[in-house]
Structure 1
């Protein structure tokens, strides 16, 4: 009798184990998300934070000489609102310490950054923004990296990956492409930012080199996107549109480097480029594996 009970108990435990394991696998598949978002969406949204950091800085510098531009004022205001809201979305949907810590770092820098851009545009504060914008950019970029690694940890069931500093090794190929396409949006805004930072009243020893670096990075990444294995006819079409807009800038590189564009022209060009690459990024986000 005792042996029968033991065998029956063992059998029941074995069956329960199978059920629990199956349930865990189903839950893991269902929970392979960044909170309420897909990880692809989270990479896209966190990447937009980089772009917004540069757009706000660019707009502030533009407003120094164009204080009555209503559209630019509205751009700055809406960018601030979206940035703050998206930061909360990113924080609320993560359950991992590394990501949360990095969002907290963004919020810390944002406090100083936001207080400056909330003042009427002037040269003294513009110089502070030129110094501070890269810190905010780096902080927002580190959040993107953490989310990519977080996604890898969820898939593998190994969140210890989050303690690894080798983020590039943990990226999935699709998320790398979403990240790269999203980075182009940021670079388009950064191009405008350093165009304005390169004018004589704000220029320092690094301004021209920064503008050159942004130009080269933006140009080089386009080639990588063009040969991506994730491209389809729709992505190719939208990449072609983005390339057309970029070629108009590329053909006028000397004009770009020598303040040959009107302020309103470069302001619009950077926004048009950002819009084009935002469309491409959104299409990569929806690619099904």
Structure 2
């Protein structure tokens, strides 16, 4: 009888330990997710919000001079819809107070920004958009930073469980690389925005310097991506495509600063550049560490 009791007791302990281990593994698996998303996806999606707010501003400024361009009208409408939808997705999947607070700030600025981009294109409202767009950009960028900070806490906890600190550091480095690549999408749109803001009808004392700043930031970040440890053959290929798009501007800096590109040409080049860097960002998102 005693042996039977010992066997049953040992078996029960085994079952309990299996359940505890299983629960710990489940918790660890849950912790590496941003709600229903991976953290890599969350960094990508939140980063895309920066690009969309700049694309809406660029499209509006372009439409002031080109009111009948249906592609630009469609870009403005679809960007607005996607921006609102993705903001909701980011909010629904976050459990982090800082992220939610920063999303609330985005929503506050968005109310005013949305009214402007929904108005009939005019010079007066275009100037207001030029003034407001950087506030919206900063608030969306703050959300990306919060998502990365949220992932940092999760990665540290997960590294403790797995006793793999190197893996945790690599995971954070990858998220920063996704952030940099995603920021290039935004800078491409911001370049177009300030190209149009720098035309004589909208130009002020700051627009030319802003255009120069965006140009140099975009150019400098390309070098950082080229030497990334996460690059593979597919990423190298997509980076080469993005660089070929960038060379159209880089080789024509005088045209950039002196309104030498036709409006429709600059509109298309910056959209193509955004698409090229979006392809790079998606590939970084899928890298396994």
Q: Say yes or no: TM over 0.5.
A: yes
Q: Closer, same or farther in 2 for the Cα pair 1:234/1:129, shift >3 Å?
A: same
Query: Equivalents in 2 of 1:116, 1:248: separation in Å?
Result: 32
5 Å matches for 1:139-158? Answer: 139-157=139-157
Q: How does 1:97-116 map to 2 (within 5 A)?
A: 97-116=97-116
Q: Which runs of 4+ in 1 moved over 4 A?
A: 12-19
Q: Corresponding residue for 2:70?
A: 70
1:4 alignment partner in structure 2? none
> 1:40 maps to which residue?
40
CA contact (8 A) 2:155 2:172 kept: no
Shift of 1:253: 0.4
Aligned-residue CA RMSD in angstroms? 2.2
Cα distance in structure 1, aligned partners of 2:17 and 2:151: 27
Does residue 231 in structure 1 map to residue 249 in structure 2? Answer: no
Deviation at 1:155, TM superposition (A): 2.5
What runs of 5+ residues in structure 2 fail to find an aligned partner? 1-8, 159-168
- Does the 8 A contact of 1:178 with 1:285 survive in 2? yes
Instruction: Check if 1:174 corresponds to 2:174.
Output: yes
| 2:161 aligned partner | none
Q: Please tell me whether the aligned partners of residues 45 and 86 of structure 2 are also in contact (alpha carbons under 8 angstroms).
A: yes
Distance 1:22 1:171 in 2: 24
The 5-angstrom pairing of residues 84-99 of structure 1 reads 84-99=84-99
C-alpha distance in structure 2 between counterparts of 1:193 and 1:46, whole Å:
20
Q: How big is each residue's C-alpha offset from its partner over 1:81-126, in whole Å with a ceiling of 9 and x where there is no partner?
A: 0000000000000111111111111011000000011000000000
2:228 is paired with a residue of what secondary structure? coil
Is contact 1:47-1:182 (8 Å) kept?
A: yes
**1:192 pairs with 2:215:** no
How far 1:26 sits from its partner (Å)? Answer: 3.2
Write the distance in 2 (CA, Å) between the matches of 1:220 and 1:203: 25
Residue 25 (structure 1) aligns with: 25
Q: Report the Cα offset of residue 30 of structure 1.
A: 3.8
CA distance in 1, matches of 2:27, 2:88: 26
1:163 matched residue in structure 2: none
TM-score (norm 2): 0.89
Q: Aligned pair 1:138/2:143, yes or no?
A: no
User: Where does structure 1 lack aligned partners over 5 or more consecutive residues?
Assistant: 1-8, 159-168
SS in 2 for 1:228: coil
The residue number in structure 2 matching 1:166 is none
Deviation at 1:20, TM superposition (A): 2.8
- Match of 2:53, SS? helix
Measure the CA separation in 1 of the matches of 2:213 and 2:170.
27
Q: Distance in 2 between matches of 1:64 and 1:86?
A: 27
Give the match's secondary structure for 1:216. helix
Query: 3-state DSSP class of the match of 2:35?
Result: coil
Tell me the number of residue pairs that the alignment of Structure 1 and Structure 2 aligns. Answer: 273
Equivalent-residue separation in structure 1 for 2:25 and 2:171 (angstroms) = 22
Residue equivalent to 2:5 = none
TM-score (structure 1 length as normaliser): 0.89
